[in-house]
A and B are shown apart, each in its own frame.
Chain A
Amino acid sequence: MAEAAIELKGISKSFGSVRANRDIDLKIAPGTIHGIIGENGAGKSTLMSILYGFYQADSGEIFVNGERAVIHASSDAIARGIGMVHQHFMLVHNFTVLENVILGAEGEPLLKTSIAKARSELERLERDYGLEVDPDAVIEDLPVGLQQRVEILKALFRGADILILDEPTGVLTPAEAEHLFRILRQLKDEGKTIVLITHKLREIMAVTDNVSVMRQGALVATRKTAETTVEELAELMVGRRVLLRVEKGDAHPGDFILSVKNLTVEDMRGVKMVDDVSLDVRTGEIVGIAGVAGNGQTELLETITGMRKAVSGTVTLDGAPVELTGEADPTDLRRRGMAHVPEDRHNMGLVLPFEENENAILGYHWQDKYVNGPFLDIEAIRRDAQGKIEKYDIRPTDARLKTANFSGGNQQKIVLAREMEQDPKVLIVGQPTRGVDVGAIEFIHKRLIDMRDQGKAVLLVSVELDEIRSLSDRILVMFAGRIVGERGPDATEGELGLLMAGVEEKEAAE
């Protein structure tokens, strides 16, 4: 048998009292796609960061192609032919693709010669692997799917034979994800080894050859993908059976509480992002907005929640209008019972350098229970945060830990706990389970259904069709800024897919 491309022996790593990786042994065969799954905070990113030289293991050894490797920095990893694509790309936004690819690997004293060399090398890579991108395009003009391709090109340009991708599909549309997998298969056929971290078990089944499961820092199982099932993997991850689709009773909708009428929103360049949208949400129901990312859902949510101005239209919350053109006031909306879980938790929903307890009051920091006159009631804030940590099973259970040090799924729970515990009348939720593990998805879905059953109105935006279908009582489909159709919860995936692709209502109905 060929030497393992990567072999990890006894890798352990702790952060303070958190044991992120415990005694991990892992072999990855060359020329395969190896999936790594596990709950939020299971230690997947940490393990890969050790392999890529971001962190140092406390103990253990790494072998690359059978040779013992000491990896102290990313440069050591790159020298060993290891490349990594991070979920949040590390590209220079106002540089061209070509400039980004050679950044840090210029190799020549004169930029001109290295650019010329790089261009031909890049063309070869693009041709060999079907990774088309215009080398002269500026990064900020490219959609995320292409930006990701640039990250892959960057790694290949540095001679990577082993490519690590940490949750690469979190930000991709289904079509982009499909394209990515085609590229990964092609890379595999060329003999590259790929490590893929994802929360989407479907993707694991579709592209990987082997899959390893991590739980609470330990590697609990490795399976041949062909010999396992989604159910088995979910159970291995969480340690119990997981409901992959929540059970819910019938909705008992009440009065209209949120109405949007003829809403039109433009971006800075005057392009219509939301085009004459009208919708109503009643108490006690979940209305889901399906659509491919970038069809105006983000703008719609931001306008309803007072973060963006509208050109025309009205929004009514519990009988009173929401300010849409002047200085909108999110605090006023919160007072009136609207809670908002934003799509972009990293930049909007959380302040990452803050302690967890400081984020647990973000947006509600004016409430009497958190302040004494102009002073913060630190005691009360920390106690309150600790309570939410327990109730929502946020891990680690330390309210004073910096928020950035929580794993992605736990960060999401921090936001959800904050918004749901306000006991709002209307809950606006964007991508509630992006980057969240199956166990936590189950938890979040149950909580959303609970909210509904308590008579709250929930407006849900998600690019995950499964999520929309399993939660919504009514489904609206958005395409190019407009609502192009409404369906019940029993709508088929194919039917919604057609609407999402912009096929006309009448045609889709046929």
Chain B
Amino acid sequence: MSTPYAKLPAWADYGLIPLINLLVAFVVAGLVVLLIGENPLRAAVILVDGAIGRGQAIAYTLYYATSFIFTGLAVAVAFHCSLFNIGGEGQAYIGGLGVALVCLTFDSVLPWWLTFPLAIAGAALFGAAWAFIPAYFQAKRGSHIVITTIMFNFIAASLMVYLLVEVLKPAGSQAPQTRTFLEGGQLPKLNWMLEAVGLTVRSAPLNVSFLLALVAAFLVWVLIWRTRLGYEIRMRGHSPKAARYAGVSEVRVIIVTMLISGALAGMMALNPVMGDQNRLQIDFVTGAGFVGIAVALMGRSHPAGIVPAAILFGMLYQGGAELAFEMPGISRDMIVIIQGLVILFAGALEHMFRPSLQALFASFSPRAVGAEAKQGESA
């Protein structure tokens, strides 16, 4: 039992605290920028401008955000069952295989809107299958899911290299990637949406899978808070003992949760593979699986938090690329450091400022501050 956290008003809990965390992350990042002799203010302006300054930038930001929404949801669903799925990276990678197989098979015969649902199914199925094996070992043998999903990330990477080089690469090609999908395997872009509100987009990879991500976020909310399965998932997440008492099969709920989580991670592949590159290529996931962990942490495992958190990380990706381009002193690696700081303060150190903020609130208006009861304190 820990010192109970006094409850903060919701706006402070969900708005102020993430904001403070973010500011601190940027201040520390600013210090790093200062250290290498660049002007942190100018860097911040470039970053923000590069992320949301123009229609083009916004489209890119949302493109990245799309991937992070999927992987963030994947991590969050598992979190609700107190499972830490670190395997989003591998599940997304294998999900890409599902997408590619569907597209390669049907792109010449079906229009995109018929290929798309098949590709969604392929992505979800392959991602879920990749999550199934660690889930099975966790449920039946108690092998820790953190370890097994990490291992499966490596196995996925090796498997995909083998498949791309030996099986899927068109004969005579030098690049380890599939052939480019035809029109029937390409998702339409969404740039017209931004143009409709008066922004100009030259060409950006934002595509309809962004809308799918928003739908998925809503469905995850329904799943967790409105279905019997979600109720069982949360039950096991809070108290495995109570779940057993309530007749919830631990094996079943672990496996089902991980299948859903893996399916969501797998669906991330739709965005780059079918929406942008239009072929399956090596390493297309580029860390989105791991960013999903930070997104889920920052979004408190709630879809309404995950979507903005994903957009924030999208901004960091897009603005960061711009920054690396504009400021020669700042390399791509610096951007990774900044992202790391955000993860550190917004995710891992989420609670750092909470106690002092609570004390502050308490001293202003003690009445406003109830308290989260201490587990089992008074019985």
Contact = CB atoms under 8 A, between A and B. Distances in A.
Contact of A56 (B3, B234, B366, B375): B366
A170 B378 CA distance: 10
Most buried by B among A14, A88, A170: A88
Interface string A392-413: 0000000000101101100100
B375 A404 contact: yes
B229 A349 contact: no
Tell me the dominant secondary structure on chain A's binding face.
loop
B363 to A, nearest CB: 8
A345 B241 CA distance: 11
Contact of B242 (A350, A366, A402): A350
A358 interface: yes
A371 B232 CA distance: 13
B198 interface: no
Nearest to A346: B376
Nearest to B359: A72
A408 B378 contact: yes
A393 to B, nearest CB: 18
B277 interface: no
Contacts of A345: 379
B242 A58 contact: no
A25 to B, nearest CB: 19
A358 B225 CA distance: 11
Contact of A434 (B226, B234, B373, B379): B379
Given A58-B367, A351-B238, A88 B226 contact: no
Interface string B312-328: 00000000000000000
Interface stretch (A131-139, A372-380, A488-496): A372-380
Contacts of A212: none
Interface stretch (B26-34, B41-49, B243-251): B243-251
A340 B231 CA distance: 20
B377 interface: yes
A348 B246 CA distance: 9
A74 interface: yes
B105 interface: no
Contacts of A348: 239, 241-242, 244-245
Given A334-B247, A348-B241, A363-B247, A15 B379 contact: no
Contacts of A376: 226-228, 231
B54 to A, nearest CB: 43
Contact of B238 (A56, A334, A353, A435): A353
Interface in A336-375: 340, 342, 344-354, 358, 362-363, 365-366, 371, 374-375
B241 A330 contact: no
A90 interface: yes
Nearest to A371: B228
B379 A363 contact: no
Contact of A88 (B242, B366, B379): B379
A74 B3 CA distance: 9
Contacts of A15: 370-371
Interface residues of A, number: 59
B195 interface: no
Nearest to A44: B378
B377 A86 contact: yes
Interface string A180-196: 00000000000000000
Interface string B349-362: 00000000001001
A167 B226 CA distance: 38
Contacts of A72: 359
Contacts of B373: 352, 402, 404-405
A166 interface: yes
Given A351-B235, A408-B379, A374 B245 contact: no
Interface in A70-96: 72-74, 86-88, 90
A374 B233 CA distance: 13
B369 interface: yes
A57 interface: yes
A16 interface: yes
Contacts of A350: 242
Interface in A39-64: 44-45, 49, 54-58
B1 interface: yes
Contacts of A408: 378-379
A329 interface: yes
Interface of A: 14-16, 44-45, 49, 54-58, 72-74, 86-88, 90, 166-167, 170, 307, 327, 329-332, 334, 340, 342, 344-354, 358, 362-363, 365-366, 371, 374-376, 378, 402, 404-405, 407-408, 411, 434-435
15 contacts: A55-B371, A74-B3, A87-B379, A88-B375, A307-B244, A346-B376, A351-B235, A354-B238, A365-B231, A374-B227, A376-B227, A402-B373, A407-B378, A408-B379, A411-B379
10 tightest A-B CB contacts, nearest first: A331-B247, A408-B379, A45-B378, A330-B247, A404-B373, A435-B379, A363-B246, A346-B376, A15-B370, A88-B376
